Amino acid sequence: MRVGDVLYIQGFIPLDPSTGKMIEGDIRIQTARVFDSMKAVLEASGMSLMDVVKVTVFLSDLSDYAAFNDVYGLYFQADPPPVRTTVQAKMPFGALLEVDAVAYART
C-alpha cells in the first residue's frame, strides 16, 4: 500500500510467484525468493531496494540468522542499510521466514 511517498510492503513468505506454492530449500534459498518478490513489488511502484528504510524479519529459527544475514547483505547494500528488527516466530505453511518492509521514495 502506498501512502504518498511511503510504500508499506506486506509480509512475504517464499512463494513461487508463478505457482503460488512454497518453494523448497534452505534459509538462503527462501531468503532470496522473498527478496526477489519484494524487489518486484518495489520496481512496480517505481522504487528499488535502495528506497527501503525499515525491514522486519520473522525467522522460524534464530539459528538461521547468520545465513539469512549473508543473503540480506547481497540485496541491501545501502550505507547505512535499512533499520531492521528480527524476531523468532512460527511461520505459515512451514516457511522459514517472513519479511515486511517500508520504503520511502526520495524525491
For residue 65, the domain's CATH number is 3.30.1330.40
**pLDDT tens digits for range 58-86:** 999 999 999 999 999 999 998 999 999 99
Domain ranges, residue 23: 2-104
SS3 content of the chain, % helix, strand, coil (to 5): 35, 30, 35
Query: For residue 107, is pLDDT > 70?
Result: no
Count the domains in the chain. Answer: 1
C-alpha grid cell, residue 5: 511517498
**pLDDT tens digits for range 14-25:** 999 999 999 999
